[in-house]
């Protein structure tokens, strides 16, 4: 069933997602012994590769990289190297690097397919988005980025299918951040009273649910990036993730604070602000949530706090789950809803691997 | 971006789904003028095709079929005809025919890909399932049947991806029938008291939500077929849709009744039976729903009535929506949930077309 042409794979990044991806790839490659040739693995400062493109044993790639890695080549050097690799080439970008994302058009123009959970390439400037999709197709190159929104949850693939078959998106709404989901499900639960805002933020950080500096979650940019991607796929050429209204949950007074730790220490002084949102919602027997919207009729995107009836699926979300509702002409009043873990190394790596398998199926 | 190799397409069936599929295909084909050659369209008793494989104008195919169709060739004749069509061939089965489904292995062995919403091929005997997937791959032939469960909802594709990347399904539960969803959301709503069972069945029939004979929904076989497909994809080799417990909602006393109409007339005499289920659930502040299960730990599938807490997503379903929860090792306690319209001509045709586009992308 599976195509058996040999394909060269390059993996950039071996953090939480990248290292689990390599484990999962090793499992899959065992079932396709002659198809997958790992020719390049890189971390932030070094890379492992052989000038004769000898296959790197996947299961031990990271320890080999640690032991015998060479200084990281530049991106143009990497592209030169990969261009001559056996068969078609897939580069898997498991970083969140802006620099790597900006190189996607160069990879694609050389016939190298790109698979990535990195949001930067698809949620940065409209120009970069256009360059990526203009370059896609050169010599059969493909781009897959399912995990740039909601990890492995089936969102981007189905959304592209809807549009390609002639359906029209009318509205998208959802909770797009596992961190925000966790924070609000605990701060303003549908049953019980919930904790103090600053306590919930501290707890989330301790559990590893936030970025090292929680302000990188609370500023809303992560959600704005995902909304940007969904808007563009729906046909709205959003200029950038800062070109539409995004409500930051960082108190104005703390915007200039130097460190994330200092921010966390001082955050409790401003709990009143979030408490006010919560109380206003409670008055109407509702709960407050941090959501993103794309509205195709008014051609607007928006990210921020909204209140929801307690029976609304967005209100009754659990843990750090994401939920995405896609309203279209064909689906009518009841949207297509996808819900589940939108972050975490295992599911993100799985979604990336799923995209790699799609490229393998399509490679000619 | 799109591959431009010419592909011949044969469409069998032009009922609700089939006719809308042709409209949608016409729209897509306009954007890929030289790629799609419609070489065969058939309804129950006739077919339109040209011995020189001249392209049939898609937008007017049905009226041309009506006017100039020839007697329906046999399946072996159809396969002979299609085997010599230009380029690779895709047969789109928009019927619910057992006979066509049983021919899938023959199509596939001749290199003809199969795309279909027809459940019969995948939920019949285990032997037919094996024959289909053994034959898949011959000369690059492919099988796509996303719409055999939940119409265009992303269920089968994502489930296959989970398994292929090494995740393990632990449990699947859901409401798999739009008819059953509508009936129970109205018979036992989470708010208010709901109607009498027999009245709801009559209303559903009037609205066109049931099969012509509502017993074809109430016997549970449709749900059992979908559960069979999901179980098999999860790795449970279910023998047939009648090889596990399926609760029929047809009162024993009415099993022998001749016509659907007589059945509907007499159904109200047995409303007590369904009322008892509803009352038992209400006593615990719950509601009754008709659900399907696959449990991988106990290796069992099951279809029937269950009660749910009113805050459970299955309880708060609306309209005739489906909901499917997939629990896996990687997703842990909070499943991947997909919800939305699982029936209807527009969304089903769209899902079929989405599958056709996947085949077009993969054809070499």
Over 60: is that where the pLDDT of B225 sits? Answer: yes
Residues in chain A: 364
* B87-104 confidence digits (pLDDT tens): 999 999 999 999 999 999
* Whether pLDDT at A233 is above 50: yes
Q: What is the pLDDT of residue B2?
A: 45
Residues B11-67 pLDDT 10s: 999 999 999 999 999 999 998 878 999 999 999 999 999 999 999 999 999 999 999
Does the pLDDT at position B344 exceed 60?
yes
Contacting residues for B252 by C-beta, under 8 A, at least 6 apart: none
Computed over every residue of chain A, the mean pLDDT equals 95
Do B362 and A362 make contact, defined as CB atoms within 8 angstroms? yes
Which residues have CB under 8 Å from B48's CB, separation 6+? Answer: B40, B41, B42, B56, B61, B64, B65, B68, B69, B70
Percentage of chain A with pLDDT > 90? 92
Whole-angstrom distance, CA of residue A112 vs CA of residue A114: 7
pTM, entire model: 0.96
pLDDT confidence of residue A4: 63
Please report the DSSP string for A266-301 in residue order. HHGGGHHHHHHHHHHHHHTTEEEEEEEEEETTTTEE
Q: CB-based burial of residue B58 (10 Å sphere; 0-12 exposed, 13-18 middle, 19+ buried)?
A: buried
Residue ranges of B 144-173 with Cβ closer than 8 A to chain A: 152-154, 157-158, 161-162, 164-167
Q: Does A346 touch chain B (CB under 8 A)?
A: yes
Q: Please measure the distance between the N-terminal and C-terminal CA atoms of chain B and give it in whole angstroms.
A: 14
* pLDDT at residue B4, rounded to an integer: 63
Mean per-residue pLDDT for B1-8?
A: 71
Quickly state the pLDDT bin for A162 (edges 50, 70, 90): very high
Q: Can you spell out the DSSP letters for B194-229?
A: ---HHHHHHHHHHTT-S-SSTHHHHTSHHHHHHHHH
**What pLDDT is stored for residue B3 in this prediction?**
47
Cα-trace Rg, chain B: 21
The shortest C-alpha distance from A267 to chain B (Å) reads 31
pLDDT in tens, A281-324: 999 999 999 999 999 999 999 999 999 999 889 999 999 999 99
B28 touching A (Cβ < 8 Å): yes
| Mean pLDDT of all residues belonging to chain B | 95
Nearest Cα neighbor of B322 from B181, B220, B189 is: B181
Backbone angles phi, psi at A295, to 5 degrees: -120, 115
Nearest to A293 by CA among A341, A327, A342: A327
Would the CB atoms of A331 and B340 count as touching at under 8 Å?
Answer: yes
**Mean pLDDT of all residues in A342-352:** 95
Contact B337 A336 (CB under 8 A): no
Coil, strand or helix: which one is A178? helix
Contact of B291 with chain A, judged by CB distance below 8 Å, is answered with no
Per-residue pLDDT for A1 more than 70? Answer: no
pLDDT above 70 covers a percentage of chain B that reads 99
Give the pair of three-digit tokens for residue A35.
């198809």
In the prediction, which pLDDT does A2 show? Answer: 45
Is the distance from CB of A99 to CB of A12 less than 8 angstroms? no
């Amino acid at each position: 069933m599976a195509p058996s042409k040999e394909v060269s794979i390059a993996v950039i990044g071996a953090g939480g997602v990248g290292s689990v991806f390599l484990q999962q790839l090793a499992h899959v490659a065992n079932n396709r012994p002659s198809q997958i040739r790992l020719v390049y693995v890189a971390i932030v400062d070094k890379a492992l590769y052989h000038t004769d493109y000898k296959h790197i044993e996947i299961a031990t790639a990271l320890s080999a990289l640690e032991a015998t890695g060479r200084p990281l080549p530049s991106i143009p050097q990497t592209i030169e190297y990969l261009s001559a690799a056996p068969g078609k080439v897939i580069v898997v970008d498991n970083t969140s690097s802006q620099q790597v994302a900006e190189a996607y058009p160069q990879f694609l123009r050389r016939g190298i397919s790109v698979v990535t959970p990195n949001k930067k390439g698809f949620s940065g400037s409209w120009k970069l988005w256009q360059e990526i999709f203009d370059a896609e197709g050169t010599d059969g190159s493909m781009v897959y980025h399912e995990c740039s929104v909601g990890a492995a949850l089936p969102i981007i693939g189905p959304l592209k299918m809807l549009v390609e078959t002639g359906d029209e998106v009318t509205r998208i709404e959802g909770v797009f951040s596992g961190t925000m989901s966790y924070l609000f499900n605990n701060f303003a639960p549908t049953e019980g009273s919930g904790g103090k805002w600053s306590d919930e933020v501290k707890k989330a950080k301790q559990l590893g649910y936030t970025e090292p500096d929680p302000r990188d979650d609370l500023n809303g940019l992560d959600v704005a990036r995902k909304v940007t991607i969904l808007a563009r796929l729906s046909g709205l050429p959003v200029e950038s993730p800062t070109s539409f209204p995004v409500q930051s949950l960082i108190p104005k007074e703390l915007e200039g604070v130097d460190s994330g730790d200092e921010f966390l220490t001082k955050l409790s002084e401003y709990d009143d602000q979030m408490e006010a949102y919560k109380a206003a919602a409670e008055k109407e027997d509702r709960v407050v949530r941090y959501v993103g919207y794309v509205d195709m009729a008014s051609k607007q995107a928006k990210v921020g706090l909204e209140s929801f009836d307690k029976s609304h699926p967005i209100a009754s979300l659990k843990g750090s789950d994401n939920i995405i509702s896609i309203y279209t002409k064909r689906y009518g009043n009841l949207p297509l809803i996808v819900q589940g873990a939108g972050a975490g190394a295992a599911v993100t790596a799985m979604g990336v691997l799923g995209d790699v398998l799609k490229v393998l199926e399509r490679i000619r």
